[in-house]
């Protein structure tokens, strides 16, 4: 089959998800291509693209795609349409709100022109992070319209599926849960540097991901433990300067270091315990990667994280509650049994969150949809 993935921002979990699918499906003998934004990402993301280019038989197309809805979207759609039409895909899979819109609208236009193309959408959080009201209600209305233009919606966790139904409404087309997966080579500990920090935050420097909560929770943990500790924040994003100012105001400037984005396994070596304080998530790869690498983890009870760590795991804290997170961080820093007590069953974890299994499940869906579409009168 000829498979094209459409998404906006080539950073974070969506990009990782698409890379894994592209590699798995290319190895299985299919032709894969990518359409995404050209204004997001930097040198780190360019290196990641270079790594997967050998698997992209249908190439890499990058065009400007804004995060917010804007008049420039029309130009992006037209450029995407011309490029995608020329590639004659069997499958168009959109990821995230903008990617989902591109795949379903363009896929529908191709279907009008008698192309047998399957149209799929994976939210990856996206529109589901909005709340009712303005602009949430408008976004939800657009999602309801677009849902009828697709053939299937694929969720990365049960939480995401349930949130979709609650906010957007009953699904009229096929719906599947296909958990994110990671490679078998990642189930090996990368070890620690000679003098690791106590805690780390890895991800976008953006309030949605809880960078501000991490800083306040760290200060609370220090207060409870009664001694100075150390931390590192790794990533890039729009709120980085704000976080630096917050650290100075709280007197933490010497104990929390900020570093640019790097490979996760390199980042894991820099601190003992990972903290994921996100206000909203779907199924974040950082959690799966940390568990596989044997790393202690503390996380907010959001999205599909409890599905990965276990619903009753004491490492989970209420969303947005930096004081509760600080208390758990203090316990992790002082209790030598913490990691063993909070680590999921690894045999069950590896069977559920394998990238090979994820790719196979998705491929089976693509094939069944494509056969179904071709056989329609």
For the stretch 138-188, pLDDT in tens is 889 999 999 999 999 999 999 999 999 999 998 989 999 999 999 888 999
Show the domain range for 362: 2-181+354-374
What is the pLDDT at residue 128? 85
Q: Indicate whether 348 and 369 sit together in one domain.
A: no
pLDDT band at 43 (very low <50, low <70, confident <90, very high): confident
pLDDT band at 75 (very low <50, low <70, confident <90, very high): confident
Q: How far is CA 289 from CA 21, 68, 186, 255, in A?
A: 16, 30, 7, 26
Q: Indicate whether 324 and 193 sit together in one domain.
A: yes
Mean pLDDT value across residues 211-240: 96
Q: Indicate whether 162 and 206 sit together in one domain.
A: no
Please check whether residue 13 is in contact with residue 282, taking contact to mean a CB–CB distance below 8 angstroms: yes
What is the pLDDT at residue 377? 67
What is the pLDDT at residue 35? 94
- Predicted TM-score of the model (pTM): 0.83
Mean pLDDT lowest among 106-110, 327-331, 363-367, 371-375: 371-375
List pLDDT tens digits, range 276-329: 999 988 888 999 999 999 999 999 999 999 999 999 999 999 999 999 999 999
Other CB atoms within 10 A of residue 341 CB: 13
**Residues 87-104 as b or e (16 or more Cβ within 10 Å = b):** bebbbbbbbbbbbbbbbb
Q: Indicate whether 228 and 296 sit together in one domain.
A: yes
Q: Indicate whether 124 and 257 sit together in one domain.
A: no
Please check whether residue 294 is in contact with residue 274, taking contact to mean a CB–CB distance below 8 angstroms: no
List pLDDT tens digits, range 112-125: 888 899 999 999 88
What is the pLDDT at residue 368? 94
What is the spatial distance between Cα 78 and Cα 149, in angstroms, rounded to a whole number? 18
Per the DSSP assignment, residues forming a β-bridge with 174 are 152
Q: Indicate whether 338 and 231 sit together in one domain.
A: yes
Percentage of the residues of the chain whose pLDDT score is greater than 90: 72
Q: Indicate whether 65 and 147 sit together in one domain.
A: yes
Q: How far is CA 76 from CA 96, 188, 304, in A?
A: 16, 41, 32
Task: Tell me the two tokens of residue 366.
Answer: 């693509």
Q: In this model, does residue 134 exceed pLDDT 80?
A: no
Task: Tell me the two tokens of residue 250.
Answer: 């709280």
The pairing of beta strand 197-202 with beta strand 231-234: parallel
List pLDDT tens digits, range 8-23: 888 878 899 999 999 9
Q: Indicate whether 32 and 104 sit together in one domain.
A: yes
Question: How many distinct structural domains can be found in the chain?
Answer: 2
CATH (domain of 87): 3.40.50.2000
List pLDDT tens digits, range 349-362: 988 898 988 999 99
Q: In this model, does residue 332 exceed pLDDT 70?
A: yes
Please give the distance of CA 246 from its chain centroid, rounded to a whole number. 26
What is the spatial distance between Cα 157 and Cα 97, in angstroms, rounded to a whole number? 17
Q: Indicate whether 267 and 296 sit together in one domain.
A: yes
Q: Indicate whether 58 and 170 sit together in one domain.
A: yes
Q: Indicate whether 236 and 345 sit together in one domain.
A: yes
Q: Indicate whether 137 and 216 sit together in one domain.
A: no
Q: How far is CA 49 from CA 7, 44, 62, 170, 336, in A?
A: 14, 9, 11, 36, 40
What is the pLDDT at residue 45? 87
pLDDT band at 224 (very low <50, low <70, confident <90, very high): very high
SS (H, E, C) the chain: CEEEEEECCCCHHHHHHHHHHHHHHHHCCCEEEEEEECCCCCHHHHHHHHHHHHHCCCCEEEECCCCCCCCHHHHHHHHHHHHHHHHCCCEEEEEHHHHHHHHHHHHHHHHHCCCCCEEEEECCCHHHHCCCCCCHHHHHHHHHHHHCCCCEEEECCHHHHHHHHHHCCCCCCEEEECCCCECHHHCCCCCCCCCCEEEEEECCCCHHHCHHHHHHHHHHHHHHHCCCCCEEEECCCCCHHHHHHHHHHCCCCCCEEEECCCCHHHHHCCEEEEEECCCCCCCCHHHHHHHHCCCCEEEECCCCHHHHHCCCCCCEECCCCHHHHHHHHHHHHHCCCHHHHHCCCHHHHHHHCEHHHHHHHHHHHHHHHHHHHHCCC
Which residues, 6 or more positions from 288, have their beta carbon under 8 angstroms from its beta carbon?
180, 181, 182, 308, 353
Percentage of the residues of the chain whose pLDDT score is greater than 70: 99
Task: Tell me the two tokens of residue 258.
Answer: 């900020």
Average pLDDT over all residues of the chain: 92
Which residues, 6 or more positions from 262, have their beta carbon under 8 angstroms from its beta carbon?
44, 234
């Amino acid at each position: 089959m000829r498979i094209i993935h459409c998404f906006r921002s080539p950073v974070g979990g969506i990009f990782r998800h698409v890379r894994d699918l592209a590699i798995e499906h290319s190895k299985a003998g299919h032709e894969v291509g990518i359409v995404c934004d050209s204004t997001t990402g930097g040198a780190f993301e360019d290196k990641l693209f270079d790594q997967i280019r050998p698997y992209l038989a249908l190439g890499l197309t990058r065009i400007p795609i804004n995060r917010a809805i804007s008049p420039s979207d029309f130009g992006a759609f037209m450029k995407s349409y011309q490029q995608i039409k020329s590639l004659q895909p069997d499958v168009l899979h959109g990821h995230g709100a903008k990617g989902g819109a591109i795949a379903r609208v363009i896929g529908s236009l191709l279907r009008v022109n008698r192309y047998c193309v399957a149209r799929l959408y994976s939210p990856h959080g996206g529109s589901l992070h909005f709340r009712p009201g303005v602009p949430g209600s408008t976004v939800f209305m657009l999602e309801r319209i677009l849902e009828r233009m697709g053939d299937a919606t694929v969720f990365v966790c049960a939480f995401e599926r349930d949130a979709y139904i609650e906010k957007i409404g009953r699904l009229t087309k096929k719906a599947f849960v296909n958990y994110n997966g990671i490679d078998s080579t990642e189930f090996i500990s990368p070890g620690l540097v000679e003098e690791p920090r106590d805690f780390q935050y890895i991800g976008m420097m953006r309030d949605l991901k809880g960078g501000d909560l991490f800083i306040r929770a760290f200060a609370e943990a220090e207060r409870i433990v009664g001694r100075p500790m150390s931390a590192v924040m790794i990533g890039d994003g729009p709120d980085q300067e704000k976080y630096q100012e917050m650290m100075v105001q709280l007197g933490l400037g010497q104990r929390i270091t900020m570093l640019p984005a790097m490979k996760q396994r390199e980042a894991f070596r820099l601190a003992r315990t990972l903290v994921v304080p996100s206000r909203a998530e779907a199924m974040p790869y950082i959690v799966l990667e940390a568990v596989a690498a044997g790393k202690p983890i503390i996380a907010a009870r959001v999205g599909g994280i409890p599905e990965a760590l276990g619903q009753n795991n004491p490492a989970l804290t209420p969303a947005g509650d930096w004081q509760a997170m600080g208390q758990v961080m203090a316990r992790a820093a002082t209790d030598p049994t913490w990691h063993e007590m909070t680590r999921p069953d690894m045999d069950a974890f590896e069977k559920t969150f394998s990238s090979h299994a994820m790719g196979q499940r998705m491929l089976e869906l693509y094939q069944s949809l494509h056969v179904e579409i071709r056989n329609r009168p």
